[in-house]
Amino acid sequence: MFSKFVISVALLILLSLSIGILNAIGDRAKDNGDIFIINYDNFDGDVDDISTTTQVPREEGYIDMDEIVHVCNTSFITPLSVLQQFNTTGKLLDETDRTSMCFIRCFFEKTGILDNYKLNVDLVRKYMWPATGDSIEYCEAQGKDEVNPCIRIYVIIQCCMIRALTDARNKPMV
């Protein structure tokens, strides 16, 4: 009796595995991230139906902000809501959150907007706001006495964000 039960269970497992193997054979790789494999049985010769993973050519000096956010977020996990708060108010939800401050440092250094505590004026004007007056020099001087690089860069960028938000509010839209 026990051996019939074991044989029944073994047949059931074998049948399940056979169905899984047949499904796996039927599912051919379509896009593994690097190579696009065409199923020639269904290929009608229309090259437009083929998708590729080739990047679209970018203009010189293009900065992929999404990629930089992804790279920085792998080391300094910061929720999108915290970044949205910073972009709309110029302040972090928690002013003691060093992880978010280090994310900001990572982001602005990798974009090239800030290097060695100096703002790249062209990139600031291109991506943040058309800085006027002494804003760049004033913001670079902020946090000068801060030893922690994440906090120092946060203070510099916070100054830039607050000035950008203030300028945006004070200038009429055309």
pLDDT tens digits, one per residue of 102-142: 999 999 999 999 999 999 988 888 887 776 678 888 999 99
Tell me which residue of 78, 136, 134 sits closest to 103, measured CA to CA: 78
Task: Indicate whether 138 belongs to any domain.
Answer: yes
Tally of domains in the chain: 2
Q: What is the pLDDT of residue 163?
A: 85
pLDDT digits (tens, 9 = 90+) for 29-70: 454 454 555 455 555 555 555 555 566 667 777 888 889 999
Q: What is the pLDDT of residue 51?
A: 55
Tell me which residue of 75, 139, 70 sits closest to 102, measured CA to CA: 75
Task: Indicate whether 42 belongs to any domain.
Answer: yes
Task: Indicate whether 59 belongs to any domain.
Answer: no
Most confidently predicted of 22-36, 100-114, 154-168: 100-114
Q: What is the pLDDT of residue 98?
A: 93
* Full domain range(s) for residue 155: 65-170
Task: Indicate whether 95 belongs to any domain.
Answer: yes
CA distances from 162 to 109, 128, 152 (A): 19, 11, 16
**If pLDDT is split at 50, 70 and 90, which confidence band does 101 have?**
very high
Q: What is the pLDDT of residue 149?
A: 94
Q: What is the pLDDT of residue 114?
A: 92
| 26, pLDDT greater than 80 | no
Predicted TM-score (pTM) of this structure: 0.64
Task: Indicate whether 60 belongs to any domain.
Answer: no
Clarify whether residues 18 and 95 are in a common domain: no
Task: Indicate whether 55 belongs to any domain.
Answer: no
Task: Indicate whether 142 belongs to any domain.
Answer: yes
